[in-house]
Amino acid sequence: MILETKNLEFSYPDGTKAVDDISITIPQGKKVSFVGKNGSGKSTLFLLLNGTLKPKKGKVLFGGKEVDYSSSGLRELRKKVGIVFQNSDDQLFAPTVYQDIAFGPLNLGYSKEEIDRVVNQMLDHFGLQALKDKPPHHLSGGQKKRVAIAGVLAMDPDIIILDEPLSNLDPVGADEILDILNELNDLGKTIIISTHDVDLAYKWSDYVLLLSSGKLVNEGTSGYVFSNDEEVRNSALKSPFILDVYRELEKRWLATGNAQPKDIPELVQLLHSVDLMRVDISPEVAVGECVNLGVLFGDYTKEGLYEAVNSRVLFKSDDGTAVVELKRRVLKPGAIHVYNMDEFDKAEFDKIVDEYDINFIGAMGKKSKDIAENNGIDVVCNSGVIDKSILNAITGSRCLILTSSGMVSHTAKRIREYIQNSGIRLIFSPVGKGALDINEENTQDQTDGLIEVE
Ligand SMILES: Nc1ncnc2c1ncn2[C@@H]1O[C@H](COP(=O)(O)OP(=O)(O)OP(=O)(O)O)[C@@H](O)[C@H]1O
Ligand SMILES: [Mg+2]
């Protein structure tokens, strides 16, 4: 059941226009946040959404139908759309916590047993068993909040609206409420919250609506809404902390660009790894100085593959070694070589593996695999060989594909096409005696495609 508004407007009796021409569709089954500074109209809009307030202009639609403001119409609406008020004192009124949570189910006509089951489930869920006989007005702010949320969830509404649900809650308590909300969302419920906690809205929400002075300023995925710095700033909010940290890292080339990490694991995923190595150094090199580690493999002068590395000394040990951070790397992209197993020659093969510094061997077809096995060749890949070789080569591996008869030219074609379409200048060369028939098209310039990392 979808909740919508069309040109919704509401003014309080003193003339304050709290909601000004808002037309929205709440995405069903999603986690939705309304964000906006104090007084931007969030609470007023929420009261309009569940029929507590009646609009002056425009309309609220539930399931495509305009809300019926008769008492029976409102009862129907509130069965489906539950609201937890910003101020728990507006919500709690029964003599005990138990009775307060039982109030909704009682009104919905549940049996006594059913009510008892539901209330106890809520008391357990929200850790309120010990408080069940206390009067709500004797509870702490956070405890009241939990009772209020439990009371609304006891009615099992399809759409749950929570006005500032985490205010007053301690961090662990807030996490517990979020877990419950996430679980309900997994069960298909639409969860709508309001908050000025930009970190929460950014991280938690599937969809964010930004309000300012009663108007809808922007809406969309949280990444989209919070990527507009100016709008966020103009609405007296700030950008999410994790996004700020990420942007600073990105500016310094410490993280991959153009992403929107939501949480620490996502941020960590985006970090460029720092390459550390322990190397021998001469005693006069000081901490902080740069050392050219030269060539890791291959040879500068030869037209082959090489990887050259500069590094900065982070830490020196007494034994003449140092931990260095690899600072600058110039490496050839990885390579894919194809070997025709129809012409297999053990001595030639071993020489190729050595010369091209092969560290990934894939075998295609039964014949290749059999020959490889009989000759003790260490095949690390025997399915999806072309794709896996390409993926490995992109990250610098030097791959050798063993193939035979009809598959040779197909393999060569696939790899050439990939190189052409992707623009990634992988080195590709057929090798060995059997290479002649696939070699003529291979005119790739071996000095192209250097990847430089600073
Ligand atoms: N009962 C009322 N009578 C008159 N004006 C009101 C009333 N309630 C709210 N307002 C005004 O309506 C505007 C919107 O208030 P609302 O409570 O909807 O904002 P909000 O976004 O929920 O703010 P907060 O983040 O502080 O909860 C404010 O300017 C407020 O002063
Ligand atoms: Mg409010």
**DSSP code for 260:** -
pLDDT given for residue 415 in this prediction: 87
Average of per-residue pLDDT across 84-90: 92
For residue 40, the CA-to-ligand 2 centroid distance in Å is 8
Question: What integer pLDDT is reported at residue 92 of this predicted model?
Answer: 94
Which range has the worst mean pLDDT, 180-184, 289-293, 358-362, 448-452?
A: 448-452
Residue-level pLDDT at 108? 87
Output the pLDDT for position 366: 80
Backbone phi, then psi, for 73, in 5-degree steps?
Answer: -60, -45
Cα dihedral sign for 59, 63, 64, 65? negative
Distance 39 CA to ligand 1 centre (A): 5
Quickly count helices (H) and strands (E) in the chain.
16, 19
Alpha carbon distances (Å) from 57 to 23, 54, 73, 215, 433: 12, 9, 19, 14, 83
Ligand 1: residue of 17, 40, 54 to mutate (most ligand atoms within 8 A of CB) is 40
Distance 85 CA to ligand 1 centre (A): 13
Ligand 1 near 16 CB (within 6 A): yes
Q: Please indicate whether residue 42, judged by its CB atom, sits closer than 6 Å to ligand 1.
A: yes
State percent of the chain over pLDDT 70.
89
Q: Do residues 267 and 261 make contact, with C-beta atoms less than 8 angstroms apart?
A: yes
Rounded distance from Cα 233 to ligand 2 centre (Å): 19
Q: What is the pLDDT of residues 417-430, one digit of tens each?
A: 878 776 667 889 88
- The best mutation among 43, 195, 200 to test binding of ligand 1, ranked by most ligand atoms within 8 Å of the C-beta, falls on 43
Name the average pLDDT for the chain.
86
Name the nearest CA neighbour of 131 among 118, 121, 116, 144: 144
User: What would the mean pLDDT of 30-38 be, rounded to a whole number?
Assistant: 95
Residues with CB under 5 A from ligand 2 (ion): 42-43, 86
For ligand 1, say whether the CB of 300 is within 6 Å of any of its atoms.
no
Determine the average pLDDT of the residues in 59-81: 93
For the CA of 41, the closest atom of ligand 1 is: 18
- Ligand 1 and 39: CB distance under 6 A: yes
Q: How many whole angstroms separate alpha carbon 2 and alpha carbon 168?
A: 30
Inter-axis angle of helices 407-422 and 385-394, to 10 degrees? 40
Both tokens of 223, joined, read 């990444």
Q: Which ligand lies nearest the alpha carbon of 237?
A: 1
**Which segment of 48-52, 82-86, 190-194, 412-416 scores lowest on mean pLDDT?**
412-416
> What six digits make up the tokens of 404?
């035979």
Q: Identify which has the larger pLDDT, 288 or 205.
A: 205
Amino acid 391: pLDDT = 78
Tell me the mean pLDDT in the region 306-313: 71
Share of the chain above pLDDT 90, in %: 53
With a 6 Å cutoff on the Cβ, whether 14 touches ligand 1 is: yes
Q: What is the reported pLDDT for 254?
A: 82
Give all domains of the chain, ordered by start, each with its CATH number.
3-238 (3.40.50.300), 240-271 (no CATH), 276-330 (no CATH), 335-431 (3.40.1010)
CB 449 within 8 A of CB 424: yes
pLDDT at 446: 39
Residue with CA at minimum distance from ligand 1 atom 6: 12
> Is it the case that residue 329 has pLDDT exceeding 60?
no
How far, in Å, from the CA of 87 to the mean position of ligand 2? 9
- Classified as helix, coil or strand, 48 is helix
Q: For residue range 127-170, what is the model confidence (pLDDT) as tens digits?
A: 899 999 999 999 998 899 999 999 999 999 999 999 999 988 88
Question: What end-to-end distance do the CA atoms of the chain give, in Å?
Answer: 53
Residue 321 pLDDT grade (very low, low, confident, very high; cuts 50, 70, 90) = very high
Contact 234, 59 (CB under 8 A): no
Q: Find the 38 Cα to ligand 2 centroid distance in Å.
A: 7
Greater pLDDT, 292 or 341:
341
Contacts with 342 (C-beta within 8 Å, 6 or more apart), sequence order = 367, 404, 405, 408, 434
Residue nearest ligand 1's atom 1 by CA? 12
| Residue that has been written with the tokens 């089951």 in this structure | 117
Q: Which of 311, 316, 319 is nearest to 286 (CA)?
A: 316
Per-residue pLDDT at 296? 61
CA atoms within 13 A on the CB side of 50: 23
Q: For residue 76, which amino acid is it?
A: E
User: What average pLDDT does range 403-421 have in this prediction?
Assistant: 80
Does position 331 have pLDDT exceeding 80, yes or no?
no
- Give the pLDDT score at 449: 40
Dig out the tokens for 267 from the structure.
């941020």
Residue bearing the CA closest to ligand 1, atom 3: 12
- The token duo for 209 is 């609506």
Length of the chain as a residue count:
454
More confident residue, 334 or 74: 74
- Ligand 1 mean position, distance from CA 17 (Å): 9
* pLDDT interval class at 297 (50, 70, 90): low
**Cα–Cα distance list, 20 to 37, 132, 192 (Å):** 15, 42, 20
Q: Which residue has the tokens 């029976």?
A: 72
Which residue's alpha carbon is nearest to atom 27 within ligand 1?
38
pLDDT surpassing 60 at residue 445: no
Q: What is the pLDDT of residue 157?
A: 94
3-state secondary structure of 335: strand
Q: Is the pLDDT of residue 272 over 60?
A: yes
- Which of 177-186, 224-233, 257-266 has the highest average model confidence (pLDDT)? 224-233
- CB-ligand 1 contact for 420 (6 Å cutoff): no
Any idea which ligand is nearest the CA of 41?
1
Confidence at residue 138, expressed as pLDDT on a 0 to 100 scale: 94
Task: For residue 87, report the distance from its CA to the centre of ligand 1, in Å.
Answer: 13
